[in-house]
Copies of this chain bind each other. A is one copy, B any other.
Amino acid sequence: MNNMTTARTPVPDTARRLPEAERRLSLRERKKLKTRTAIRDATYRLIKEQGYEATTVEQIAEEAEVSPSTVFRYFPTKEDIIITDEYDVLVEDLLRSRPADEPVLESVRWAIRQSMAMQVADTPEYAQEEMKLRTGLMVSVPAVRSRAMESMSVTGRLLCRVLADRTGRDPDDLEVRVYAMGLMSALLEAVLYWAERDYQDDVLDLVDRTLSTFSNLARRSPDDGHDILTG
């Protein structure tokens, strides 16, 4: 592959990320953002060419034009370079912006759609491709999948807090936690399903089906096709 940029044109994709929020930051903060995305872009580029295992952190550092130390300062593990997303806070805000009497699953559905739309808006050309690469790695690389599950459980705790606020329960309540983790895990499974089938389905459609399955669990009638699981 030689459609990659030469060293003379460092990290070209960088400029496209975080177009608005990037302003009004100190030079230092802007530089930090730049190296962060430079590292991530370099990682995606190399992995696309060579695969995950064949790509070492040293190579990533070189490609991103930083030292290996810096890579580890920005991302605690190699998997984090791929998985870490900054959208968790966003999702929490989105969830909290919904009326408290809306069914939880509706709020979640809306928050997912909204956050995906915003990601696409941030980086139109790359959002889809990056998401495919990421989920593909979740399927093929156990370490990445593990890290994704960890990250998902963090999002689960977030959902716990929202649920707790809505229902007046404790966020550490067993029932709250079980519900939140079950839901998050189901959603992750949907994404894995999407990647395993070579992204043929519409992700949002899979999300809808997942949420439906989740809300229909207790019904016994086999009339809508999503609810005969409980026997």
Contact = CB atoms under 8 A, between A and B. Distances in A.
Interface of A: 100-105, 142, 145-147, 149-150, 153, 163, 166-167, 174-179, 181-186, 188-190, 193, 206, 209-210, 213-219, 225-226, 228-231
Copies in the complex: 2
Contacts of A179: 186, 213, 217, 229
Interface of A is mostly: helix
A209 B174 contact: yes
Contacts of A103: 230-231
A216 B167 CA distance: 16
Given A215-B218, A217-B215, A230 B104 contact: yes
B176 A186 contact: no
Contacts of A175: 209, 213, 225-226, 229
Given A185-B186, A215-B230, A217-B218, 5 more contacts: A167-B231, A174-B209, A175-B209, A178-B213, A184-B185
A146 B163 CA distance: 25
Nearest to A103: B231
A177 B187 CA distance: 10
A177 B189 contact: yes
